[in-house]
Amino acid sequence: MHKQTHPQLFRRPEVLTLTGLSKSTLHNRIKSGLFVPPISLGARAVAFVASEVDAVIHAMIAEQPPAEIKALASNLIQQRKQSA
C-alpha cells in the first residue's frame, strides 16, 4: 500500500518561533529574497511550506553567506512553481 504524504504547512507564529526572528525581520528577509515567501490559503490566511522553511533554517545554521541563502530561496520557489 502506498501512502501519499502531503506537504506540512507552518503558520507565521510557528515560523517566528522556529527562526527566532521578529515579524518585521521575517518580512524584510522575504522581501529581500533571503527567506521563502508564504503561500496563500485564502483571502486572509497564509502559511509557509515546512520543507522550505527547514531548508532555509539549515542554511542559516550552516552560516551560509546571504548570496547562497538567496539562491536557495529562489531555487525553492522555482521548485514550488514546477510542482504545482
| DSSP reduced 3-state for 49 | strand
The confidence band for 6, taking pLDDT boundaries of 50, 70 and 90, is confident
Chain segment 27-55, per-residue pLDDT in tens = 999 999 999 999 999 999 999 999 999 99
**pLDDT greater at residue 39 or residue 4:** 39
Supply the pLDDT for residue 5: 76
Encoded amino acid at 35, one letter: F
Supply the pLDDT for residue 1: 52
Three cell numbers, residue 74: 529562489
Contacts of residues 63-66 at CB distance under 8 Å and 24 or more positions apart, as own/partner, are 66/34
